Amino acid sequence: MCQLQKSKDYTAQPTTTVLLDEWLNQREMSMKDNVEANAAKWDETFNKGDTAGLAGFYAFEAVVVPAGGTAVAGPDAIGKFFADLQSKGFTSHKISVDAVMDRGDTLVATGKWQLNGPGEDGATKQYGGNWVNILGRDGAGWRILLHMWN
């Protein structure tokens, strides 16, 4: 716990920046752990073909903006978007989480993604890039508000 003391000008100052920084790092780390666990669940859900289950990760007002594609809004449409992707032969989705910014009821998460799918010659090709999610608190959990990738 960070102890505060009054300075001569009567503004609250931490007695040690190290304790405050440590507390902030622990909070961010626990949120990163949380996002990593949910990213693994998202991958598992996608990889078993449960696109209706994927819709459950998204808030009612969620938007998915695929690289170079048209934005898709709402959980049902997002589930259908991923079902279409899978019907075209895309499999083995894998997310890694690089960073999470915790802003109270909002998280901004970034990382890398990879996915296998058909290449131009019909052989399996590995695709990948960067992603960003903005998540909003929903009760005790989190739902994706915005999902973008390149």
d(C-alpha 118, C-alpha 139), whole Å: 39
The token pair at 119 is 């290449």
pLDDT in tens, 66-82: 999 999 999 999 999 99
d(C-alpha 102, C-alpha 97), whole Å: 14
Q: What is the mean pLDDT of residues 96-110?
A: 94
Q: How far is CA 148 from CA 3, 13, 16, 109, 136, in A?
A: 40, 39, 39, 11, 15
pLDDT of residue 141: 85
Query: By mean pLDDT, which of 84-88, 102-106, 119-123, 145-149 is the weakest?
Result: 119-123
pLDDT of residue 3: 38
Q: What is the residue-wise DSSP string for 45-100?
A: HHHTT-HHHHHTTEEEEEEEE-TTS--EESHHHHHHHHHHHHHTT-EEEEEEEEEE
110 by DSSP, 3-state: which? strand
Q: Which position has the token pair 């809004």?
A: 73
pLDDT of residue 126: 95
Query: In CATH, what is the architecture of 4-149?
Result: Roll (3.10)
Q: What is the mean pLDDT of residues 51-55?
A: 92
Q: What is the mean pLDDT of residues 101-130?
A: 93
Q: What is the mean pLDDT of residues 60-70?
A: 95
pTM value is: 0.78
pLDDT of residue 29: 54
Q: What is the mean pLDDT of residues 34-38?
A: 92
Partners of 133 in the β-ladder: 109, 147
Q: Phi/psi at 4 (nearest 5 deg)?
A: -110, 145
pLDDT band at 140 (very low <50, low <70, confident <90, very high): confident
Buried b (16+ CB within 10 A) or exposed e, 113-147: bebbbeeeeeeeeeeeeebebbbeeeeeebbbbbb
